[in-house]
Amino acid sequence: MTDTPDATTRTGDTSTVDLTTPTWEYAPAPEARSLAHIPTTRLFIGGEFVDPVDGGTLKTVDPSTEEVLAEVATAGPADVDAAVRAARSGAETWAAMPGRERAKYLFRIARLLQEHARALAVLESIDNGKPIRETRDVDLPLVAAHFFYHAGWADKLEHAGYGPDPRPLGVAAQVIPWNFPLLMLAWKVAPALACGNTVVLKPAETTPLTALAFAELCREADLPPGVVNILPGAGDTGAALVAHGGIDKVAFTGSTEVGKAIQRQLAGSRTKLTLELGGKAANVVFDDAPIDQAVEGIVDGIFFNQGHVCCAGSRLLVQESIHDEVVERLTRRMATLRVGDPLDKNTDVGAINSAEQLERITALVAAGGDEGAEAWQPACDLPDRGYWFRPTVFTDVQPAMRIAREEIFGPVLSVLTFRTPDEAVAKANATPYGLSAGVWTEKGSRILWMADRLEAGVVWANTFNRFDPTSPFGGFKESGFGREGGRHGLAAYLDLAF
């Protein structure tokens, strides 16, 4: 290792500031790409991999290199129909099976996920662009934990507080996004199966591979045919699935725009719906907060997973008296972030998932500059190929600016200030979203006071982005409705009369 100066640049006013922060140069520490096994790329229907009847194909690429990883079959309307029929016939045996037997399958899947965790982590990193440190240490452990946790519920549903004999809904259509492909699958599939439902799941078009690898694990676990069906495809496949008359429940995670369209589409139908949508979380730092700890939380809150996180702390609200100090420490910390090869174990910030998402981030950042905010980025070398965006922080942000209102879904932080707790609450809640929030203060009473007033499904105190299968997650307002995880999450998959 050598000690080298790290220059940083200010981009909003195009001046260059050399902070000459000494940082360590690490030797590359790549995880073995050869560990990734490309799964069968056909549709998974009724326990078999099959060719599409009226679907097509899509190419999935490694966003860090633009290399095509695989050509994957996509489902058309007839394939959707076949999958829903398979799920319906699977539901008869699955729902009738005693909970303790269903639990055995879920435990088996959880153990298989653990056994294959390293290969799945590599596969997720190359298909999504996220750093191996995250897929290995966050995504995969949580994926297995969700199956273990829900396996535990499968034979105890009558003690969950939903009546003496809670019944499943039937067939669940599940549509998920690309930011946590396998984790979002686990959030959806594990509770559905534990409650006795069968599922037809559509992964996102840019990240279908770990869902197909999961289908292979379902076969290895001898899961009865039709209990899990996986249909890769784009929005048209999702739309055909959601519109199918044979489903009992839609669980959607994705953008607010598509969520609203699905809600309109299902209005008046008997199909149950839960929506996990976008966010624009406030991370509120009071002047009595432990600042170094808060800076770590701010960095984790917005740069974890390249900021492709629905609950990302994308609006930093800092008490005015400590604004300069927080921004100074934050930029110094940002200058140490390593952007690059997702498979390098030293990488903090990986690739943006797609060219389309990179375009969206670039456009919103340009809008921030045009509206008068000042952008700062560390000067880091970006690879020549692939989709990359430097960690960015905006100061001089006004609440009306687009970067303060719209979900950027990238590594971009907007800093605003407040003077009083009331002003912090007012600014934090001045958004159509309501998914998450963070509060940094040494006073427990202030944490409780804030948590009472913040319109957010999750409020973290002196930490950020903590997830656990026992804890319900979900939003208010345009962030959606329904909860995933914990006892509350079971309600979304049970036929409750109350």
Residue window 143-182: x/- pattern of binding to ligand NAD, with contact defined by CB under 6 A: --------------------------------xxxxx---
Residue window 328-367: x/- pattern of binding to ligand NAD, with contact defined by CB under 6 A: ----------------------------------------
Q: How far apart are CA 10 and CA 460, in angstroms?
A: 31
Among 258, 358, 365, 373, binds ligand NAD (CB under 6 A): 258
DSSP class of residue 484? Answer: B
| Window 392 to 411, contacts with ligand NAD (CB under 6 A) | 407, 409
Selection from 250, 196, 261, 201 nearest residue 224 by Cα: 196
Q: How far apart are CA 382 and CA 185, in angstroms?
A: 31
The single residue of 218, 310, 311, 380 carrying the catalytic annotation is 310
Q: How far is the CB of 240 from ligand NAD (least distance, A)?
A: 8
Would you say 223 or 435 has its CB closer to ligand NAD?
435
Q: CA geometry: angle at 177 spanning 342 and 436, to 5°?
A: 90
Q: Which residue has the tokens 């009083």?
A: 420
| Window 411 to 470, contacts with ligand NAD (CB under 6 A) | 435
Of 136-144, 202-210, 396-404, 418-426, the segment contacting ligand NAD by CB under 6 A is: 202-210
Of 40-48, 232-240, 383-391, 397-405, the segment contacting ligand NAD by CB under 6 A is: 232-240
Would you say 221 or 454 has its CB closer to ligand NAD?
454
Residue 173 Cα distances to 28, 85, 190, 242, 368, angstroms: 42, 12, 13, 7, 38
Among 81, 276, 341, 348, binds ligand NAD (CB under 6 A): 276
Of 257-265, 295-303, 330-338, 344-352, the segment contacting ligand NAD by CB under 6 A is: 257-265
Residue 489 Cα distances to 165, 315, 421, angstroms: 17, 28, 32
Tokens found for residue 357: 């998402």
Is 218 among the catalytic positions? Answer: no
The answer to whether 284 and 440 are in contact (CB under 8 A) is: yes
The answer to whether 281 and 309 are in contact (CB under 8 A) is: no
Helices 209-220 and 99-115: angle between axes, nearest 10 degrees: 120
Is 276 among the catalytic positions? Answer: yes
Would you say 58 or 103 has its CB closer to ligand NAD?
58
Would you say 79 or 276 has its CB closer to ligand NAD?
276
Q: How far apart are CA 211 and CA 198, in angstroms?
A: 16
Beta bridge partners of 141: none
Q: Residue 310, interface with ligand NAD (CB under 6 A)?
A: yes
Tokens found for residue 339: 């952007």
Footprint on this chain of ligand NAD (rule: CB under 6 A): 175-179, 202, 204-205, 234-235, 238-239, 242, 253-255, 258, 261-262, 276-279, 310, 407, 409, 435, 475, 479-480
Catalytic machinery residues:
276, 310
